[in-house]
Amino acid sequence: MASADALKKIRRDVQAHVGKMVRLKANRGRKKTFEKEGILEQVYPNIFVVRVTESPDYVRRISYSYSDILTDTVELTIVENEKANLRCGSV
C-alpha cells in the first residue's frame, strides 16, 4: 500500500499548484524527451491536465497520470519557484 499512499501524496501536491505555471518534462522513450511550459489547469482523481500555448492560435491540453510522476516518466516543476519540484511528490 506504500504506492497508493505515494500516489495520494503526489495528487495532493499537484492539486496545491492548480493555476500556476509549470515546466513539464516527459520521457517519450528511445531517448526522446518532451519539454514545455504551461498552466496546470485541472486535477482529476486519476490524471492532471496542463494547458500549453504553442502559438496565439493553438492551445494544447496534455494529460498525465500521477503514476507517471511516481515512475519518473514525467517531471513537473513549478516555474515561479524552481526549488518546488514535484518529481517524486515532494514540494
Q: Give the pLDDT confidence score for residue 8 in this predicted structure.
A: 92
Q: Give the pLDDT confidence score for residue 86 in this predicted structure.
A: 52
**6-7-13 Cα angle (round to 5):** 90
Residue with cell 496534455: 62
Residue 43 banded pLDDT, cuts 50, 70, 90: very high
Which residue ranges form the domains of the chain, and what is each CATH number?
2-78 (2.30.30.100)
Q: What is the pTM of this model?
A: 0.80
Using one digit for the tens of pLDDT, what is the confidence trace for 3-25?
A: 789 999 999 999 999 999 999 99
Q: Tell me what percent of the residues of the chain surpass a pLDDT of 70.
A: 86
Query: Does residue 2 have a pLDDT over 60?
Result: yes
Residues 6+ apart with CB under 8 A from 28: 34
